Amino acid sequence: MKKAIIITTVFVAVLALGIAESVWGYRHFGTICEKLERACERLETAEEGVTDEEALTALREAGEEGRAPLLALVSNPNITEKVTEYAAQALVYAAEGQNADARSAALAAKRAAERLQRECFPSVFNIL
């Protein structure tokens, strides 16, 4: 359950990062995205000897950095529908992570976030 909550939190943080460009410009966007990417890669890669707990800690830290842009979502009604749609997908992936392994759920959530960026924020997707 803990892994599912962390994966969902990180996914929503990735969604929030997708709007950071329009809210704050590029000031912290690149750094946070890089940290999320590294955390997801650590979670997906078993060969590096990184435990799930270590990878989930990295994801949690990246999610904390994404919290401020997430708050900006509340004041942007234009994207509410898409955010709801993809957040629902994240919950499904996180639920799957309870019964499967965390790496699979993280990868699926990351793919859904990339889809949101491609469809709603193409200029952001191009810099990733």
Domain tally, the chain? 1
Q: Is residue 75's pLDDT more than 50?
A: no
Tell me how far apart the alpha carbons of residues 57 and 28 are, in angstroms, rounded to a whole number. Answer: 20
When pLDDT is cut at 50, 70 and 90, the band that residue 6 belongs to is: low
Prediction pTM value: 0.32
* Full residue range of the structural domain in which residue 120 is found: 2-127
Q: Is residue 36's pLDDT more than 50?
A: yes
Determine the pLDDT at residue 112: 61
Q: Is residue 28's pLDDT more than 60?
A: no
φ, ψ dihedrals at 101, nearest 5°: -100, 155
HSE of 7, CA atoms in CB hemisphere, 13 A: 33
When pLDDT is cut at 50, 70 and 90, the band that residue 126 belongs to is: very low
Q: Is residue 67's pLDDT more than 60?
A: no
For residue 83, how far is the Cα from the chain centroid? Answer: 12
Encoded tokens for 103: 């790496």
